[in-house]
C-alpha cells in the first residue's frame, strides 16, 4: 500500500459542499426511517407493519431508478438534485402536518399516510441517488477519484451511525411530529449545500429514445467485466451473508444479552467501516485492486461465519466489526471502479444500475435472512450465507484471473 494525501479530494470546494450535503441527507433520511418504524410498531403492535416500509420504498425506487439515471445523463444534474431533495422534503412536510392533525382514534390512519409518504420518497430518491452518484466524478480530478470514493463512503457510514444514534433522543424530546420537523431542517440544509455546487455541462449523447438509452447503460455494465463482477459480488455477499436484519434474534435467543446490547451489535459493522475508511485515506488499495477486492469480500464471509458460531458477546462484536471493515475495502474499490471506467455520458444510467443492485441486496437480503432463519435455524442460516459468499468469491476469482493484472492507477 502506498501513502497518499489524505485530504486530496477536500482541496476542491465543491467536493466539500457535496460531502456536507451527502452526510446531512444520510442523517436526516435515517432519523426519519428509524422513527417511522418505531411509530408504526407503536400504532399497530405488528412487526409486519414495519416490513411493509421496506417494500413501500423499494418498489418505486427500483422501478424508477433507470429513468432517473437516464435523466441524470441528459439534464442538469444540479437541477435534478434540487428538485428531488425538494420533493423528499415536501413528503416529510406533508407527514409532519398530517401527524399533527391526526389524534385519538384517527391516529391509526397515520399508518397508511406513512406508507404513501415512504413510496413517494422512494420515487424521488430514484432520481436523487443516480444523479448524486454521477455528479461526484465531476467535482475532483481523476487522480483524486480514490480519495473521493473513500471519503464519500466514510461520510455515508458516519451518517448511518449518527442518524439512528440521535433519532431516539430527538424522538423522546419532541415526539414524532417534531422529529420530522428536524428532518425537514436537515433536508433544507442539503438544498443549500447543493446550491453552492456549480452546474455541469451536459455531455453530448448519441440519438435514441429513453428505452434505448436505458438499454445502453445496462449493456455497458454487462460487457464491462470488472464493473459487473464488482457490483454482483456486493449484491450476493450482502444478500446471503448479511445479518443486520436478524441481529435482534442473536441478541435475544443466542447471545442472551438483551436489548441493551443490540444497539452495540448494530453499530459494530459501521464502526469497523468508518475506522477502515479513515485508514484508507492515508493508504491506497488500488495496487492489485482486483485481488484486494476479492480478499475484502472473502474476509466479509469469514467474519460472518465467525459471528454466526460465536456464543460470546465480545467475539460477536469483533466479528461484526470486521464485517464492516472488510466491506469498506470492497466498497472503496467498487466506487473507484465506477468513477474510472464509466464514460461521462453514461454515469447516471450506470449509477442507477448499481443503485438497483444495492437496493436489491439490502431489501431482499433482509427478506432472505428472515426466511432462511425460519427454515434452517438462525445460526445455520448465517453460516450457510457466509459459506455461499465464499463460494461466490471462489467462482469469481477463477473466472476473473486476467483482471488481477489490471492497474487501475494507470
Express each pLDDT in 114-142 by its tens digit: 889 999 999 999 999 999 988 888 899 98
Share of the chain above pLDDT 70, in %: 86
Of 238 and 328, the one with more pLDDT = 328
Helix (DSSP H) and strand (DSSP E) numbers for the chain: 13, 0
pLDDT of 66 strictly over 50: yes
User: Is-contact 313 255, C-beta < 8 A?
Assistant: yes
Of 333 and 124, the one with more pLDDT = 124
Among 80-94, 113-127, 229-243, the range of highest mean pLDDT = 80-94
pLDDT of 44 strictly over 80: no
| 242-296 per-position pLDDT tens digit | 677 667 677 777 888 765 676 678 778 888 988 998 888 887 777 788 888 899 9
Q: Give the model's pLDDT for residue 1.
A: 46
| Euclidean distance between CA atoms 92 and 117, whole angstroms | 7
User: Is-contact 304 326, C-beta < 8 A?
Assistant: no
User: Is-contact 62 352, C-beta < 8 A?
Assistant: no
Residue 43's pLDDT band, with cuts at 50, 70 and 90, is confident
Residue 83's pLDDT band, with cuts at 50, 70 and 90, is very high
Residue 110 has a CB neighbour count (10 Å cut-off) of 21
Summary mean pLDDT of the chain: 83
Q: Give the model's pLDDT for residue 345.
A: 79
Question: Is residue 112 exposed (0-12), middle (13-18) or buried (19+ Cβ within 10 Å)?
Answer: exposed
In the structure grid, which three cell numbers stand for residue 287, read together? 495496487
The DSSP code for 202 is P
Mean pLDDT in residue range 182-208 = 84
pLDDT of 65 strictly over 60: yes
Q: How far is CA 84 from the centre of its chain?
A: 18
Of 353 and 362, the one with more pLDDT = 353
pLDDT of 51 strictly over 80: no
| Euclidean distance between CA atoms 227 and 135, whole angstroms | 18
Q: Which of 85, 83, 79 shows the shortest CA–CA distance to 28?
A: 85
Residue 177 has a CB neighbour count (10 Å cut-off) of 16
User: CA–CA distance from 51 to each of 54, 68, 138, 335 (Å)?
Assistant: 6, 25, 37, 29
| Euclidean distance between CA atoms 226 and 381, whole angstroms | 29
Amino acid at each position: 500500500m502506498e501513502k497518499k494525501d489524505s485530504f486530496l479530494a477536500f482541496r476542491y470546494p465543491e467536493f466539500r459542499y457535496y460531502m456536507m450535503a451527502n452526510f446531512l441527507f444520510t442523517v436526516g433520511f435515517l432519523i426519519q426511517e428509524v422513527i417511522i418504524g418505531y411509530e408504526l410498531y407503536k400504532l399497530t403492535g405488528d412487526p409486519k407493519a414495519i416490513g411493509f416500509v421496506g417494500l413501500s420504498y423499494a418498489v418505486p425506487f427500483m422501478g424508477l431508478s433507470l429513468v432517473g439515471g437516464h435523466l441524470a445523463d441528459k439534464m442538469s444534474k444540479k437541477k435534478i438534485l434540487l428538485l428531488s431533495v425538494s420533493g423528499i422534503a415536501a413528503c416529510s412536510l406533508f407527514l409532519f402536518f398530517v401527524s399533527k392533525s391526526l389524534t385519538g382514534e384517527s391516529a391509526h390512519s397515520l399508518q397508511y399516510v406513512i406508507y404513501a409518504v415512504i413510496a413517494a420518497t422512494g420515487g424521488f430518491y430514484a432520481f436523487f441517488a443516480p444523479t448524486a452518484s454521477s455528479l461526484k466524478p465531476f467535482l475532483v480530478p481523476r487522480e483524486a477519484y480514490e480519495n473521493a470514493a473513500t471519503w464519500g463512503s466514510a461520510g455515508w457510514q458516519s451518517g448511518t451511525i449518527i442518524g439512528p444514534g440521535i433519532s431516539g433522543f430527538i424522538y423522546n424530546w419532541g415526539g414524532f411530529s417534531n422529529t420530522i420537523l428536524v428532518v425537514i431542517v436537515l433536508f433544507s440544509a442539503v438544498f443549500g449545500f447543493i446550491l453552492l455546487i456549480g452546474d455541469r455541462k451536459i455531455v453530448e449523447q448519441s440519438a435514441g429514445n429513453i428505452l434505448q438509452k436505458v438499454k445502453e447503460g445496462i449493456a455497458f455494465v454487462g460487457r464491462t467485466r470488472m464493473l459487473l463482477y464488482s457490483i454482483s459480488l456486493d449484491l450476493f455477499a450482502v444478500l446471503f451473508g448479511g445479518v443486520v436484519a436478524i441481529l435482534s434474534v442473536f441478541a435475544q435467543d443466542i447471545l442472551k444479552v438483551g436489548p441493551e446490547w443490540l444497539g452495540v451489535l448494530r453499530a459494530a459493522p459501521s464502526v469497523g467501516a468508518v475506522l477502515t475508511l479513515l485508514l484508507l485515506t492515508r493508504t491506497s488499495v488500488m495496487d492489485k485492486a482486483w485481488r484486494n477486492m476479492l480478499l475484502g469480500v472473502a474476509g466479509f464471509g469469514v467474519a460472518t461465519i465467525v459471528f454466526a458460531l460465536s456464543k460470546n458477546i465480545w467475539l460477536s462484536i469483533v466479528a461484526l466489526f470486521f464485517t464492516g471493515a472488510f466491506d469498506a475495502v470492497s466498497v472503496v474499490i467498487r466506487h473507484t471502479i465506477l468513477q474510472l471506467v464509466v464514460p461521462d455520458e453514461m454515469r447516471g444510467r450506470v449509477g442507477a444500475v448499481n443503485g438497483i443492485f444495492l437496493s436489491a441486496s439490502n431489501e431482499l437480503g433482509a427478506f432472505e435472512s428472515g426466511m432462511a432463519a425460519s427454515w434452517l435455524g438462525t445460526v445455520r442460516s448465517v453460516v450457510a450465507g457466509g459459506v455461499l459468499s465464499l463460494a461466490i468469491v471462489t467462482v469469481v476469482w477463477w473466472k476473473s484471473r486476467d483482471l488481477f493484472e489490471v492497474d487501475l492507477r494507470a
